[in-house]
Structure 1
Amino acid sequence: MMKRSPTQQEATFQNYKSLLFSIAYHMLGSVMDAEDCVQEAFLQWYVSEQEEPVENPKAYLCTLVTRRCIDRLRSAQAQRESYVGLWLPEPLIETTDPFEYSERNETLSLAFLLLLERLSPIERAVFLLRQMFDYDYTEIADIVGKSAENCRQIMHRARRHLPTHPIHMSVPHAKPQQVFTQFFQACRNGDMEGLLQVLSNEIVLHTDGGGKVRAAHHPLYGPDRVARYLLGIQQIVFPMMKVAIQPTLINGQPGMIGYLEEGLDPQFQRRQQRERKENSKHPDAWHQRPLAKGEAAFAIGLTCADNEVQEIDIVLNPEKLQHIPARDVDDTGIIICGR
């Protein structure tokens, strides 16, 4: 087999790059870590090709990426155990129609990725390759270095660790926009009754501040408690800063990004500085560093079903938002809230 030229290698890599990133992101729940794994796999393949051409680049690259992800997940388990508060995946922002909906979006949602945290690294790899990417057990066995029969057993074990229906049922195309609009307007207007009407009786809310931003350390359940939390946070945040809110797709689901439009109120900043000094051992006394204008301050993803919001995931940890580009002043659809 003839060696591929650098141009041919680049073309091959670009052909599989989307698949490789999708596998890595589903495995790791981190945009930046997924990109690193994909790039590392490409470099290793490039070096290997210099010695002997790889017969099946797709299988080789998928194997490299999956095994790197398994290794990263194993090394990250100790970090997850010491993580302050709830851990949520990094939000994946899409530039398509904010309310475009398809069944594939369900497997990308923050809610679904959070469920996958119940699985061990090898269970997660086998489950995703089989369930999401439709690999047969022989292919999976080659990728993860197990026998096909062992992979079947791992898959069976993984399914036992997940709910019977881990993904919310699909909703008609127009419904996510309707649900999102009702939810957002109720939040913006401080409308408790309007918010209660759109929240499911089984609603759960997760917030991830990572010890760097004040957030709830445990899930909140029930429409009344969730609504009071959302409206209470709004009453605290909006008087102290101006936020530009951009509706967008977050992990394939309706959501929004909040960008800092105008800095913190000076009086609040002084109070925050006193709070840091008084609570120097407190891990999440609001933001531990100042945000720059146009920087993403939060991402909120909704999981909708049956014309209701079933789950709300709020990412506040700035380390999980740094891959989101600063807001373009020419962006359309921006809604200004706050001061």
Structure 2
Amino acid sequence: MAERTEQIFNQYRWLLFSIAYRMLGSRTEAEDIVQEAFLRWLEADEEAVQSPRAYLSTVVVRLCIDQQRSARAQREVYTGTWLPEPLLTEQQPELTETAALAESLSFAFLVMLENLGPLERAVFLLREAFEFEYAEIAEMTGKSEANCRQILHRAQQHLGQRRGRYDVSHEQQERITAQFLQASTSGDIDGFLQLLSDDIVFTADGGGKAKAGLKPVRGREKVARGTLSGLRILLPAIVSRIEMVNGQPAIIGYIDGRPYAVIVLDIVDEHIHAIYAILNPDKLRSLPHL
């Protein structure tokens, strides 16, 4: 019986993790939530669990809503700007197997979701990314179908134009990321500037545990000069690789074989619209060493 239970759980593991990670922006917390859901399932009345998928998804969603409420309070005292924990996806095609799932895993999308409250975020993701029916969402959230429709509408209005993005192919992302790496490591200020949009925003997350600016930097000149001056200090010690992070090419910098930073680019219409730099070592622990 225990073996059968574990087989069923493993069947839905990626779905549960996918929901939890998008809800929380943290691989570590998502894995903890999924494990807690499994433990609760083991303790549940077997006759009361008519659908393992529905039961497990409901537990994960409700745990994530509670966790997200707590996390939002914690981020009010977070040192600097909070960014999601980067997730390597080269060996995990399940996380990006549809266009909606791929979009909702991107760093820009996860950052955008921070503008939603926990319940709005849950309803929005369950409907838009995972395409659950309203009846299923109502069951998971404990709200009526009509209420879920209203919550989704509010979430869509709240996000508004933040969702607007031009389609960027994998080839474009790969090419521009490679150009960014080349220009930044060679100190090519003119080439670097050409890659950036006029309204470029550079956001770093050091979490008070790594040297990073506490506020986003805006504008081509400021971002270019600040990025290149920072890299100039690190270049003798850093080794960089382009890897698939959150479904898109990104740069991972290593010092002494350990991940030191992850750089994710948000590309719009052939230019870099935003740069996200994750330096908080707590968020890099799950990444493999060189």
TM-score > 0.5, shorter chain as reference: yes
2:265 equivalent to 1:302: yes
RMSD after superposition: 1.9
**The structure with more radius of gyration:** 1
Change (3 A) 1:187 1:96: farther
SS in 2 for 1:175: helix
Q: Which whole-Å CA distance do the structure 2 matches of 1:75 and 1:219 have between them?
A: 24
| Residues 24-63 of structure 1 mapped to structure 2, 5 A cutoff | 24-49=20-45, 51-52=46-47, 54-63=49-58
Q: CA deviation at 1:195?
A: 0.6
Structure-2 residue corresponding to 1:14: 10
Q: Is the 8 A contact 1:101 1:253 kept in 2?
A: no
Q: CA deviation at 1:40?
A: 0.6
Q: CA deviation at 1:26?
A: 0.3
Structure-2 residue corresponding to 1:276: none
SS in 1 for 2:160: coil
Q: Which whole-Å CA distance do the structure 2 matches of 1:306 and 1:11 have between them?
A: 45
One-letter amino acid of the counterpart of residue 166, structure 1: R
Q: Is the 8 A contact 1:112 1:167 kept in 2?
A: no
Q: Which whole-Å CA distance do the structure 2 matches of 1:34 and 1:167 have between them?
A: 27
TM-score normalised to structure 1 length: 0.80
2:148 equivalent to 1:185: no
Q: CA deviation at 1:166?
A: 1.2
One-letter amino acid of the counterpart of residue 23, structure 2: M
Q: Is the 8 A contact 1:246 1:258 kept in 2?
A: yes
Q: CA deviation at 1:53?
A: 5.7
Q: Is the 8 A contact 1:254 1:303 kept in 2?
A: no
Q: 1:212 aligns with which of 206, 209, 212?
A: 209
Q: Which whole-Å CA distance do the structure 2 matches of 1:68 and 1:297 have between them?
A: 31
Deviations 1:19-76, CA, capped at 9 Å, x for gaps: 1101000000000000000011011111215x53621000100000000000111112
| Residues 264-283 of structure 1 mapped to structure 2, 5 A cutoff | none
Q: CA deviation at 1:9?
A: 1.2
2:146 equivalent to 1:149: yes
Q: Is the 8 A contact 2:90 2:247 kept in 1?
A: no
Q: Which whole-Å CA distance do the structure 2 matches of 1:86 and 1:20 have between them?
A: 27
Structure-1 residue corresponding to 2:275: 312
SS in 2 for 1:83: coil
Q: Which runs of 5+ in 2 are unaligned?
A: none
TM-score normalised to structure 2 length: 0.93
Q: Which runs of 5+ in 1 are unaligned?
A: 262-293, 328-339
Q: Which moved more, 1:218-227 or 1:55-64?
A: 218-227
Q: CA deviation at 1:96?
A: 4.9
Runs of 4 or more consecutive aligned structure 1 residues displaced over 3 Å after TM superposition? 100-104
SS in 2 for 1:93: coil
Structure-1 residue corresponding to 2:76: 81
Q: Is the 8 A contact 1:203 1:223 kept in 2?
A: yes
Q: Is the 8 A contact 1:107 1:167 kept in 2?
A: no
One-letter amino acid of the counterpart of residue 21, structure 1: F
Q: Which whole-Å CA distance do the structure 2 matches of 1:298 and 1:224 have between them?
A: 22
Q: Is the 8 A contact 1:101 1:173 kept in 2?
A: no
Q: CA deviation at 1:227?
A: 0.8
Equivalenced residue count is 286
One-letter amino acid of the counterpart of residue 27, structure 1: M
Q: Is the 8 A contact 2:185 2:235 kept in 1?
A: no
Q: Is the 8 A contact 2:20 2:64 kept in 1?
A: yes
Change (3 A) 1:101 1:37: closer
Q: Which moved more, 1:148-157 or 1:171-180?
A: 171-180
Q: Which whole-Å CA distance do the structure 2 matches of 1:253 and 1:101 have between them?
A: 13
Change (3 A) 1:145 1:101: closer
Structure-1 residue corresponding to 2:241: 246
2:92 equivalent to 1:129: no
Q: CA deviation at 1:228?
A: 0.8
Q: Is the 8 A contact 2:134 2:149 kept in 1?
A: yes
Q: CA deviation at 1:323?
A: 1.5
